[in-house]
Amino acid sequence: MIKLTINGNEAEAAEGQTILDVARELSIEIPTLCHHKAIPPTGACRICVVEITAGARPGLVPACAYPAQDGLEIQTDSERVRESRRMTLQLLEARCPEAKVIQEMAAEYGALDLPLERKDEKCIMCGLCVRVCKEIIGPAATCFAGRGPEREISTPYKLLSEVCIGCGACAFVCPTEAIDPAEFCSIALEKIPNEFNCGLDSRTPVYIPFPQAVPNKPVIDRENCIHFRTGGCGACKTVCPADAIDYDMEDKVVEEEVGAIVVATGYQLMDPAVYEEYGYGKYPDVVTSMEFERMVSASGPTGGGLHRPSNGELPKTIVFLQCIGSRQETDGKPYCSKICCMYTAKHTILYKHKVHDGQAFVFYMDVRSGGKNYEDFVRRVVKEKVATYLRGRVSKVFPRGGKLMVRGADTLGGGQVEIAADMVVLAPAVVPSSGVQELAQKLRIGYDQHDFLLEAHPKLRPVETNTAGVFLAGACHSPMDIPESVAQASAAASKALGLVTHERLTREPTIAVVDELTCNGCFECENVCAYKAIERKEILDKDGVVTAVLAHVNEGLCQGCGACGVTCRSKSLEVEGFRDLQLFSAISAISR
Amino acid sequence: MSEEKPKKDGQDKWEPRIIAFLCNWCSYAGADLAGMSRFGYPAPIRVIKVPCSGRVDPLFVLRSFEQGADMVLVSGCHPGDCHYTSGNYHARRKLLAFRELLTFLGIDPRRFKISWVSAAEGGKWSSLVAEVTEEARALGPYKEFPRSVSEGVSDEG
Ligand SMILES: Cc1cc2nc3c(=O)[nH]c(=O)nc-3n(C[C@H](O)[C@H](O)[C@H](O)COP(=O)(O)OP(=O)(O)OC[C@H]3O[C@@H](n4cnc5c(N)ncnc54)[C@H](O)[C@@H]3O)c2cc1C
Ligand code: SF4
Ligand code: FES
Ligand code: FES
């Protein structure tokens, strides 16, 4: 083990670590420019210099490239170090006054005073981009071109590159944001839209799906990952200190035997582009409520800054349109989506937090604020004039003079209104998550005409389904907000626990039973059982040889509908309580 | 057998005897609702509860006629709404095919009805019974139940 001291702190280092690595482990700040974890260091920019005071030849060395050695004593912020960095920055600043990082660093080191004519560049010639392209990604699309003062980063012969694969790594590693790959890349650079932020920003091919994801671990998007596309790169593997990246991992089908299943697949919003009159998808300033939610979120794509997507300006006038597709018998969903009235009221408040002197309008059909304290919340929004509520529908949204004109009816005030808005926010109908039909069919549970999953009884068994052991929680059942979803989830969890924590399962006694003496194992019953309750039972003789395979009813799954009995040709299956004999007697009795 | 079956409803007026098989979850509940909502409906209907319309064996229908029914009705949940997801689909296929066979057996298919009544349709149940009773009255007493069929289904069990 290597032992050294940095700024008087004793530290241990492993073979191959640099002074920079060790310092960072100790949370000692050392500025870098031409260093990137995934790329072997070259020590080109010399911003990371530190002073060796003992243990080797004293002097200044680049921390990013200098290996940790036993007995080294290092100062990272001594007078000599600061002076050296100041000189480096003076020169860089004179060359690259446009680069923001350089300006900031230079200000910190008092290096803004060099009486030199300023160039107007951003590139500091550290060569990171050239190296990432050649050493990490592989194609070597970029190189240094020219000599002396003419030296620059470009492609061979400064032509549009044919080997560039459009990965954007060069721009990504550049410390001064000097690179626009479009200048030399012959194929269009595609940004990968960040799904969690409704595509409002982009993400990298290896990414943590969203903040608070469980488990909070990155995933690799194979379609976009350079390694999977070309076999190159591998940068994430190089930098991962836990050595957790394994490109050979395959998706696995995991089979688990479980006693209960809770379906909580939630909802999505319907695509409001189907209503052309609102201009969604045509005018960038028309957004959905979900996009708005991301825009005003502190962890969102804009860090909470609300800007008009068209020009980045503050939206001084904003119009919220409720019931987009909800409560529309003819060309939408007939039901009320239930959550939009409340979140729209919330959005008007959030809007006012962002734009204090802004004006918000809400077009609504009715304000449905059923729920504890919900009416108070909406009243507050109206009373404190957070937003102006207009009862009526909007007939058209169209652009005029850089604004969006929102034309609608104000049925309470009377007459047409036209509002010149900077942004329009739509509240589209809540619909079940896509793919819910296949899931329901797989689980053999019911769904209604809108694909919301069916409960066993609307009043008495609201979180159970008609298939024993399958429960529902949240918006997969019907549109609902978080408190309601949480209440349902708690109910479903306790129902599930009630099922699996008992020694024995209780069930209705009226289930099907097989008469093994007459069953001949045709398994016609298998086809009609909606619950897959018919199992195959092997009948063994005394030597353990299978002599017959007969139907057997799984008592936990059977719901006692009796379809199997009617199908059985040998009348070997009957539902207890509704046996043929019992029903025949009933017929005779009732006919008297 | 059935020559002297007592088809009198109290006084001298003849009333049909209608046997109805109702699924537990929709039609039976619908009939219940009709009662609770005070929707009146004609008395000649006699109800047998089954778990699901899919539980109705064609033999039950024959046995009912054999026992003297003038009309038989099977009612379940609306297609797509069966409590057991698909029982009424099985019932629909089976019983519609069975109705075709009734003519072959020599039974008047007009005396066999299939309908879908949901748990919320108390009103529908009441008007359905009124309608079916009217038809049964118009068709008159059912006396032609074929002997051959009778022999096939009369043996209990
Ligand atoms: C703009 C907006 C603002 C809102 N603001 C509020 C608010 O302030 N307060 C409030 O109470 N409510 C609010 N809501 C409502 C809230 O979003 C919902 O009530 C809540 O998300 C419902 O939770 P859920 O778990 O049932 O469904 P979801 O949140 O939709 O979660 C379902 C999850 O299941 C996953 N999934 C889907 N299908 C499958 C599958 N086949 N296999 C595996 N996983 C699957 C989905 O990816 C998703 O992660 C708002 C809604 C919107 C649209
Ligand atoms: S909650 Fe309000 S906005 Fe949403 S559909 Fe219902 S009435 Fe319309
Ligand atoms: S960061 Fe170490 S020399 Fe550039
Ligand atoms: S439960 Fe009513 S038809 Fe199946």
CA distance A301 to A284: 16
- Does residue B153 lie in a domain region? no
Nearest to A50 by CA among A8, A85, A89, A14: A85
A338, A347, A369, A390: residue to mutate for ligand 2 pocket, most atoms within 8 A of CB: A338
Q: What Rg value do the Cα atoms of chain B yield, rounded?
A: 15
CB B18 within 8 A of CB B61: no
Q: Is the pLDDT of residue B7 over 70?
A: no
Q: Report the CATH number at residue B48.
A: 3.40.50
pLDDT band at A229 (very low <50, low <70, confident <90, very high): confident
Which pLDDT band holds residue B3 (cuts at 50, 70, 90)?
very low
Contacts of residue A97, defined as CB under 8 A and 6 or more positions apart, other chains included, come to A103, A118, A119, A120, A121
B78 touches chain A (CB under 8 A): no
Report if residue B22 sits inside a domain: yes
Average pLDDT of span A239-265:
92
List all residues 6 or more positions away from A468 whose beta carbon is below 8 Å from its beta carbon: A507, A531, A556, A557, A559
Q: How far apart are CA A464 and CA A262, in angstroms?
A: 9
Answer yes or no: is A315 within a domain.
yes
Contacts of B19 in chain A (CB under 8 A): 587, 590-591
Average pLDDT (A302-326) is 96
CB A385 within 8 A of CB A358: no
Does the structure show a pLDDT above 90 at A236? no
User: Is the C-alpha dihedral spanning A97, A98, A102, A104 positive or negative?
Assistant: positive
Pairwise pLDDT comparison (A487 vs A1), residue with the higher score? A487
- pTM for the predicted model, two decimal places: 0.73
Nearest CA to ligand 1 atom 40: A265
B32-61 residues touching A, CB cutoff 8 A? 46, 48, 50-52, 54-57, 59-60
Looking up residue A530, the CATH number of its domain turns out to be 3.30.70.20
Whole domain around residue B123: which residue ranges?
15-139
pLDDT at residue B153 tops 80:
no
Q: What is the mean pLDDT of residues B124-138?
A: 96
pLDDT at A144: 67
Q: Are residues A84 and A172 in the same domain?
A: no
Q: Is residue A497 assigned to a domain?
A: yes
Rounded CA-CA distance A82/A78 in Å is 6
How far, rounded to the nearest angstrom, does the alpha carbon of residue B57 sit from its chain's CA centroid?
Answer: 12
> Which pLDDT band, with edges at 50, 70 and 90, does A216 fall under?
very high
Strands A286-288 and A423-428: parallel
Over its C-alpha atoms, chain A yields an Rg (Å, rounded) of 34
The best mutation among B22, B48, B49, B77 to test binding of ligand 4, ranked by most ligand atoms within 8 Å of the C-beta, falls on B77
Question: Does the structure show a pLDDT above 90 at A293?
Answer: yes
Nearest atom within ligand 4 for CA of residue B54: 4
| pLDDT band for position A63 (cuts 50, 70, 90) | very high
Q: Answer whether residue A26 is part of any domain.
A: yes
**Is A251 contained in some domain?**
no
Quick: pLDDT tens for A163-201.
777 777 788 888 888 887 777 666 666 788 999 999 999
Q: What is the structure's pLDDT at A159?
A: 58
pLDDT value, residue B1: 45
* Residue of A147, A96, A100, A98 lying closest to A124 (CA atoms): A96
DSSP track, B52-110: -GGG--HHHHHHHHHTT-SEEEEEEPPTT--TTSSHHHHHHHHHHHHHHHHHHHT--GG
- Tell me the three state secondary structure of residue A130: helix
Rounded CA separation A401/A9 (Å): 64
Q: In this predicted model, what pLDDT tens digit does every residue of A79-126 receive, in sequence order?
A: 999 999 998 998 888 888 888 888 888 888 887 777 777 777 788 888
Is residue A274 one of the residues assigned to a domain? yes
Which pLDDT belongs to residue B2?
A: 44
Q: Is B3 part of a structural domain of the chain?
A: no
Q: Is residue A179 located within the same domain as residue A319? A: no
**What does the pLDDT look like over A125-160, one tens digit per residue?**
888 888 888 887 776 666 666 666 666 766 665 556
Residue of A528, A580, A591 lying closest to B157 (CB–CB):
A580
Mean pLDDT of A538-561: 93
A45 lies in a domain?
yes
Is the model more confident about A286 or about A71? A286
> In CATH, what number is assigned to the domain containing residue A317?
3.50.50.60
Contact A402, A385 (CB under 8 A): no
- What confidence score (pLDDT) does residue A147 get? 67
If asked whether residues A275 and A202 sit together in one domain, one would say no
Interface test with B, best of A561, A571, A582, A584 (most B CBs within 10 A): A561
Rounded to whole angstroms, the Cα distance separating A348 from A315 reads 13
The pLDDT tens digits for A35-49 are 988 888 888 889 999
Q: How far apart are CA A520 and CA A159, in angstroms?
A: 79
What is the average pLDDT score of chain A? Answer: 90
Helix (H) or strand (E) holding A95: helix A79-95
Structure tokens at A288: 């959905």
Higher confidence at residue A170 or residue A273? A273
Query: B87 in a domain, yes or no?
Result: yes
Instruction: Tell me, yes or no, whether A288 and A267 share the same domain.
Output: yes
* Per-residue model confidence (pLDDT) at position A156: 60
Q: What CA–CA distance (Å, rounded) separates B96 from B112?
A: 10
For residues A529 and A531, what is the distance between their CA atoms, to the nearest angstrom?
5
Q: What percent of chain A has pLDDT over 90?
A: 62
- Does some domain include residue B6? no
pLDDT > 70? residue A235 = yes
Contacts of A381 (CB under 8 A, 6+ apart): A345, A348, A349, A387
Of A473, A504, A535, which residue sits at a domain end?
A504
DSSP codes of every residue in B17-65: -EEEEEETTTHHHHHHHHHHTT----TTEEEEEES-GGG--HHHHHHHH
Q: Quote the pLDDT of residue B5.
A: 52
Residue B98 has pLDDT above 90, yes or no: yes
- Judged by a CB distance cut-off of 8 A, whether residue A530 touches chain B is yes
Same domain (yes/no): A468, A556: no
Flag whether B81 is in a domain.
yes
**Residue-level pLDDT at A497:** 94
pLDDT for position A145: 66
Domain range for A65 is 2-108
Name which of A65, A70, A72, A4 is nearest A30 in CA terms.
A65
Q: Is A326 in the pocket of ligand 2 (CB under 6 A)?
A: yes
Measured between CA atoms, the residue of chain B closest to residue A525 is B90
Say yes or no: A463 and A541 in one domain: no
For residue A118, being part of any structural domain is answered with no
In this predicted model, which residue has the larger pLDDT, A2 or B5? A2
A171 and A232 part of one domain? no
Dump the DSSP string for A389-434.
EEES-EEEEEEETTEEEEEEE-TTT-SEEEEEESEEEEEEPEEEPT
Asked if B21 and B73 count as a contact pair (C-beta separation under 8 A), the reply is yes
**CA proximity to A40, closest of A227, A238, A247:** A238
- H-helix or E-strand spanning residue A153: strand A152-154
| CATH number assigned to the domain comprising residue A103 | 3.10.20.740
Q: Which band of pLDDT confidence, cut at 50, 70 and 90, is reported for residue A483?
A: very high
Q: Are B106 and B11 in contact (CB under 8 A)?
A: no
Whether residue A279 has pLDDT greater than 90:
yes
Nearest ligand 1 atom to the CA of A439 is 41
Contact residues on chain B for A461, CB-CB shorter than 8 A: none
Q: Quick one: average pLDDT of A18-33?
A: 92
In a domain, A320, yes or no: yes
Q: Which residue, A504, A537, A566, sits at the end of a domain?
A: A504
Task: Give the C-alpha separation, B157 to B154, whole Å.
Answer: 9
| Predicted pLDDT at B11 | 57
What confidence score (pLDDT) does residue B157 get?
42
Nearest to A188 by CA among A180, A196, A199: A180
Among A393, A415, A399, which Cα is nearest to A324's?
A393
Q: How close B9 comes to chain A (CA, Å)? A: 12
Over the stretch A562-592, which tens digit does the pLDDT of each residue have? 999 999 999 999 999 999 999 999 999 998 8
For chain A, the domain total comes to: 5
Pair (A172, A201) in one structural domain: no
The pLDDT value given to residue A306:
96
Contact call for B87 and A561, based on CB within 8 A: yes
- Atom 1 in ligand 3: residue holding the nearest Cα: A32
- On whether both A393 and A311 belong to a single domain, the answer is yes
The answer on A409 and A306 residing in a single domain is yes
Q: Assess whether A382 and A499 both reside in one domain.
A: yes
Q: Residue A418 is encoded by which pair of tokens?
A: 């036209």
A90 and A106 in contact (C-beta within 8 Å)? yes
- Please give the tally of structural domains in chain B: 1
Are A317 and A462 within one domain? yes
pLDDT tens for residues A413-471? 989 999 999 999 999 999 999 999 999 988 888 888 899 998 988 899 999 998 889 99
Q: What are phi and psi of A177, to 5 degrees?
A: 55, 40
Domain end (from A108, A141, A161): A108
In a domain, B84, yes or no: yes
> Contact at 8 Å (CB) between A423 and A285?
yes
